[in-house]
Amino acid sequence: MAFRFGRALAVIGAVLALAASPVHASDGVKTSPNVKRVASVPQQAPFDGPEAYGSDLAFQGNYAYQGNFHGFTVYDIRNPAKPKVVSRVTCPGAQNDISVTGDLLFLSVDEPMRDDSCRTGHGSETSKTAWEGIRIFDISNKSRPKYIKSIKTACGSHTHTLVPDKKGKSVYLYVSSYDPGARYPGCKPPHDRISIIKVPLKKPTAAKVVSRPVLFPDGGNETQSNLLVPTSGCHDITVFPKKDLAAGACMGDGILMDISDRERPKVTTRVTDENFAFWHSATFNNTGDKVVFTDELGGGIAATCTKGFNPERGADAVYDIEGGELVHRSYFKISRVQTSAENCVAHNGSLIPVKGKDIMVQAWYQGGVSVWDFTDSAKPVEIGYFDPPPLKPIDLGGSWSAYYYNGHIYSSDIQKGLDVLRISDKRLGSAAKVRMKALNAQTQYAY
């Protein structure tokens, strides 16, 4: 989601008139013939109230982890058709962007809280004592995760990216945050940087910020007329550790970085796009020579998949990496026209492990879930979809993240919970036989 949380609620309220007790349509789901929903786990207490929005997903072994603005949920997915809730942990903080490694789980908090505890409430953005940043949990006992550490970061943590070190002794978190203001003690401009946290795996309580590299010494793209937010740091970063490569979606800019020195990443190339309002996220292909960037036009809260928006707005942009430069090849946007009551725009997705092809699954909020092929960078094509009906009454909702993991697609629905889909298509080859040990979508490994 594009805006920092405090201001986001005001905008959402004005645009969508949030309902305290939304009623959801139970039928009317449309799918392509090759896609089937095999399971749906509804939101449950304590995550069934207003503003208990489902957010990102992470996977490890037989477990899925779903972030929520009120905490996170652990699912047992040994049988994808019958996911079981193992635990729900209440720990409020937008957006609770989530990742896991070993026995550790990380949550991003991008709103000022009164303190760093899980029992706190919203604090004041102008308070010097307010806290926002990263929380770390020990998940060795999945039924009783334990909160063990917090790290405060400048401007909070809207998203974070897990980056393994080269010796296997630590992981780094690249913390993305933005939207500074002169009146915010912990988030004053300029803020053209990221925060990097080092987490020793044997002693995670020693985690700390080790560097704050400036990515945009010239301020980045701040003058393009249609930008939602001018460049001030990054919204999301995806890394390809094997190639020491990262792609950053940074509000007004798309970038590539050399991360061979994990604590000192260097921007190697930058691009802008007059059709992009908000560079939101990035996905590499399996060989690391393409990047798909998403444009979160309208900040995720607007209906941008109606007839009034052309296919180059609120879309994906496919770039080839040639000689270290980003070369634009095409745009891709779902072709199903959505109603003016449905917030819809390109959002989070991941690759499907198909040998010799570039195919990914992607969330589109109330536009649903799309599976599309960009093997031909200039001619991307959709090959499957899942499209639920509009929420009733009008509300912020739909698929926040849709990721492929060990034969199934898992979709985190903002309002409804967790959907599990299966796609059966000969174009996916033997993808269902590929077994992943873990998936943090912003940390990509070659299959």
- Residue labelled with tokens 């590299």: 213
Question: Which domains can be identified in the chain, with CATH numbers?
Answer: 5-439 (2.130.10.10)
Q: Extract the runs of DSSP E, i.e. beta strands, from 223-380.
A: 236-240, 245-250, 253-258, 266-271, 279-284, 290-295, 316-322, 325-332, 349-352, 359-363, 369-373
Average of per-residue pLDDT values in the chain:
94
- Measured distance CA(340)–CA(305) in Å, rounded: 8
C-alpha pair distances (Å), 149 with each of 95, 106, 117, 194, 441: 18, 10, 10, 20, 23
> What is the share, in percent, of the chain residues with pLDDT greater than 90?
92
387 beta partners: 30
**Does residue 95 have a pLDDT over 80?**
yes
pLDDT given at position 394: 83
**Does residue 23 have a pLDDT over 60?**
no
- Residue labelled with tokens 């004041």: 124
pLDDT tier for residue 25 given thresholds of 50, 70 and 90:
very low
| Better pLDDT: 7 or 275 | 275
**Does residue 15 have a pLDDT over 90?**
no
Closest CA to 68 of 87, 57, 53: 53
Question: Which tokens is 319 given?
Answer: 């770039």
Looking at residue 389, what DSSP letter applies? P
pLDDT given at position 20: 30
Q: Which helix (H) or strand (E) holds 6?
A: helix 5-16
- Decide if 186 contacts 234 (C-beta within 8 A): no
- Decide if 153 contacts 135 (C-beta within 8 A): no
pLDDT digits (tens, 9 = 90+) for 409-440: 999 999 999 999 999 999 999 999 999 999 99
Closest CA to 368 of 35, 15, 59: 35
- Measured distance CA(212)–CA(175) in Å, rounded: 9
pTM above 0.85, yes or no: yes
- Decide if 358 contacts 290 (C-beta within 8 A): yes
CB-based contacts of 368-372 (< 8 A; 24+ apart in sequence): 368/334, 368/336, 368/398, 368/399, 369/35, 369/399, 369/402, 369/409, 369/411, 369/419, 369/421, 370/334, 371/35, 371/409, 371/423, 371/425, 372/332
Closest CA to 432 of 34, 30, 142: 34
- Residue labelled with tokens 């879309």: 315
- Give, in degrees to the nearest 5, the angle at Cα 22 between 18 and 24: 130
pLDDT given at position 229: 94
pLDDT digits (tens, 9 = 90+) for 159-204: 999 999 999 999 999 999 999 999 999 999 999 999 999 999 999 9
- Decide if 351 contacts 444 (C-beta within 8 A): yes
Question: Which tokens is 117 given?
Answer: 């505890």
Mean pLDDT computed over 216-221:
96
**Does residue 19 have a pLDDT over 60?**
no
- Measured distance CA(56)–CA(226) in Å, rounded: 27
